[in-house]
Amino acid sequence: MKQQRWTAEQIPDQTKRVFVVTGANSGLGLATTRALARRGGHVILAVRDEGKGRRAVDEITAEQPGASLEVRHLDLADLDSVRAFAKQVHTDHPRLDVLVNNAGVMAPPRSLSAQGHELQFACNHLGHFALTGLLLDLLAAGRDPRVVTVSSINHRKGRIRFDDLAGERGYSAMGCYDQSKFANAVFGWELHRRLTEAGSPVRSVLAHPGYTATNLQTSAPIGLWRVVFGRIGNPLFAQTPAQGALSQLYAATDPGVEGGQFIGPDGLAELRGGPTRVRLSPEAADAETGRRLWEVSEQLTDVRFVIPV
């Protein structure tokens, strides 16, 4: 891409562009929101806890007086909340330019969403699938519109257990996390394929942050995983949220990014570094897997995509 590593200072002017960033009150989402606001973008902070969202806004505006921000409630694990959020955005905005599907949970004890789906699959994949489908018409009206779906290095280890999506027959906290990140990758690629086939102006781009120190590793994981990630991995290997967010910022704003690309860190094992194009696993680009996940996701969310042309 570039001989010198890309930084947030290279984000083009985003004045008059409208962004939705899920999970925008902390970690990668907060870093993404801060960088976009600094370049003039209007950011809708889609957050489960509105109090934390308002504190994030106060933090950013203290650094950047006049930053254009708004806080909206969104619980991705509750499809009713996803629908309510999308309805509000339609009421208040005639268009969107970029949706950053960033929020996620990692390796919690087994629990179910409001609609009875395994929590990680519900929050990390189904909620973002539904949100994207419900906002796609607004994105089609945007300027250089993009959907950026944040996956993980772990997508390369994941597979979808279509016969046991809820983990009823056996729950592995990290196994279900890997499954959800694989689903993100499959969805992002399948969305790209469908948008391209329809001749839509909307681009679907994938990104991953490498190994980044956020509360994702320390708040939800159970038992040994919390020790591995929070106490051992973060101090030794992790980069900061501002560094980790560069991949999704690049995917969201750089003029040279193309639909279907996967952006991640350029360092050793893609754990850290500046954004570059990285490899999507062949399994994630498998047409049959993409078709099957799409159909299952439509059934579970009751959201049918109308691809704008």
Residues marked active site are found at 177
On whether the CB atoms of residues 23 and 43 are closer than 8 A, the answer is: no
Pairing of strands 275-277, 262-265: antiparallel
Vertex 30: Cα angle to 28 and 35 (nearest 5): 95
Name which of 260, 214, 258 is nearest 103 in CA terms: 214
- E strands of 143-219, at which residues? 146-150, 203-207
Cα 96 from Cα 145, distance rounded (Å): 7
Cα 22 from Cα 227, distance rounded (Å): 27
- E strands of 157-230, at which residues? 203-207
Cα 277 from Cα 257, distance rounded (Å): 9
Structure tokens at 186: 């499959």
CA distance to 4, 30, 46, 162, 308, per residue, from 301 (Å): 43, 27, 19, 15, 20
Q: Which residue has the tokens 């279900």?
A: 176
Cα 264 from Cα 294, distance rounded (Å): 24
Cα 58 from Cα 43, distance rounded (Å): 14
